[in-house]
């Protein structure tokens, strides 16, 4: 199907590489979160890294965001 590999970073610090082809990767709410951010403005980036399995697409879907103050 669809998917690709991507990384999530906040304030310039990369969390990790995610692979939507990995059978262990589970889609659903709360896939990525941070609970130790100080109050204030932050920058969240999702970067598709351009690599994928042979014969697959390099598409990453973002379903939504939830910010809790």
pLDDT at 12: 92
Dump pLDDT digits (tens) for 21-48.
766 766 665 566 777 888 889 998 988 8
Q: What pLDDT, on the 0 to 100 scale, is given for residue 3?
A: 66
Which residues fall within 8 angstroms of residue 23, CB to CB, at 6 or more apart? none
**Do 35 and 66 touch, CB atoms closer than 8 A?**
no
Q: How far apart are CA 4 and CA 59, in angstroms?
A: 5
Work out the mean pLDDT of the chain and round it to a whole number.
77
Can you give the pLDDT at residue 11? Answer: 92
pLDDT at 34: 76
Residue 58 tokens, joined: 């390099």
């Amino acid at each position: 199907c669809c998917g690709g590999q991507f990384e999530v970073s906040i304030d310039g610090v990369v969390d990790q590489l995610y692979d939507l082809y990995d059978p262990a990767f589970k889609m659903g709410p709360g896939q990525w979160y941070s609970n130790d951010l100080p109050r204030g403005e932050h920058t969240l980036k999702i970067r598709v890294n351009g690599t994928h399995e042979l014969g697959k697409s390099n598409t990453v879907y973002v379903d939504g965001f939830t910010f809790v103050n």
